[in-house]
Structure 1
C-alpha cells in the first residue's frame, strides 16, 4: 500500500505556492496601480509629476491608434522644452498650474494622479476641462485658461514631429523632386492660368 498526499495537504501546498507568487508579484501590481508611470526623458521646466501628467494628457489628446500617439512622437518632451525656452512665462506658469490641477482632480476621483486614470476617465476629465475653457471664453473679458494652450501645443508638437508629419498626415514634399530636361510628350500640355 502506498501513501498518497491528502487533498488537504496538496491544496495547502498550492495555496503556499500561490502566496509565494503573489508576494513576489505584489510590488509590481502595486506599482502598476498606484505608483507614478515612468517617463523616459528628463524634464527641463516641469517636475517629474508634472511630466507624467503632461505625458498622459498628451496621449489622451492624441492616442496611439494605427498611427503613433503623442508619447511615441515625443510630444511631451517638446512641450517641456517649449515651456523652458520659448513660451511666455505667464502662459508657462498657467500651463504648469493647469497640469497640477489635472493631477489634483484625478486624486479627488480616487486615483494616484492623472496618469493613473483609465483612458476613458482621462478623456472624460479633459472634456470637463474643455467645457470650462468654453465658459471662460464666454466671459468678458475672457479669462485665460490653460486648456487651449495644452491642446494647441500638443497638436502642434505632434504634427511637426516626424511621426505626425509622415504617418498621421500625408507627407507631400514641396517643392517635390526636380526632373530637368523632361521631354514635352512626357509632360503633356503646359499649364496656363488666367
Structure 2
C-alpha cells in the first residue's frame, strides 16, 4: 500500500473517531425547534411514551413510528394561546410528579399496564388533578388528530372519493 493512501486512511479514521461521540451525545434540547414552549429532551421522551400508550403499535404503525409526539409539540407551540401553553407545561411537570408518586418510577420506565392504569386514574380524578387532566386531554386530542391525518391513515385506511361523490339514481327524494 502506498504511503499517501495509508496516511489518508488514517486521517479519515481519526476524523471519524473525533466526530462520532458528538453524534451520540444528549443535547438536552427537543428534536424540533419550538418558539413558545420550553421543553427538554426528557420531556420529549415522556411525550413519546405517552403518545405510544395512547396509540400503540399493532399491525398498523403506532405513535412512536409516526412521530406523533412531534406533532403534539408543534401544534401546542403554534396553535394554542399562551395560557394554554403554560397549562400544558405545568400539567407535564405535575404529571411526572404524579407518576413518580403512584408508581415510584418515571412514566417512560413504567410497564404498559401501569401506564394504562395511570391514564385511567387521571380520567377518573379530573377535578382533583386539573392541570394534569388538561395536559392529558390536549395530548390525547392532538395525538388522535395527528394519527388520523398521518400519511399512513390517509393512504392506506381512508378510501378517497372525488368531491361530488357517486351518483345514486335510486335514492328516495
TM-score grouping bracket, smaller chain normalisation:
0.5 to 0.7
> How far apart in 2 are the matches of 1:40 and 1:166?
29
**Could you tell me which residue of structure 2 aligns to residue 41 of structure 1?**
31
Match of 2:154 in 1: 165
How many pairs are equivalent?
140
Separation (CA, whole Å) in 2 of partners of 1:39 and 1:69? 24
Contact 1:58/1:76 (CA < 8 Å) preserved in 2? yes
TM-score by length of 2: 0.67
Pair 1:74 & 2:75 matched: no
Following TM superposition, by how much is the alpha carbon of 1:163 offset from its aligned partner in structure 2, in angstroms? 2.2
Distance change >3 Å, CA 147–CA 53, structure 1 → 2: same
TM normalised by structure 1 equals 0.60
With over 3 angstroms needed to count, the CA separation of the structure-2 counterparts of 1:164 and 1:98, relative to structure 1, is: farther
Deviations 1:55-111 (A, max 9, x none): 111111111111111111121001111122111221122122222222222222221
Answer with 1 or 2: which has the greater Rg: 1
Corresponding residue for residue 175 of structure 1: 162
Q: Point out where structure 2 has 5 or more consecutive residues left out of the alignment.
A: 1-25
User: 1:147 aligned to 2:136?
Assistant: yes
Counterpart CA distance in 2 for 1:83 and 1:40 is 14
1:174–1:59 CA distance, 2 compared to 1 (3 A): same
**Alpha-carbon offset, residue 121 of structure 1:** 0.9
Partner of 1:60: 53
RMSD of equivalent CA atoms: 3.3
Give the match's secondary structure for 1:150: helix
- Provide the residue aligned with 1:91 in structure 2: 84
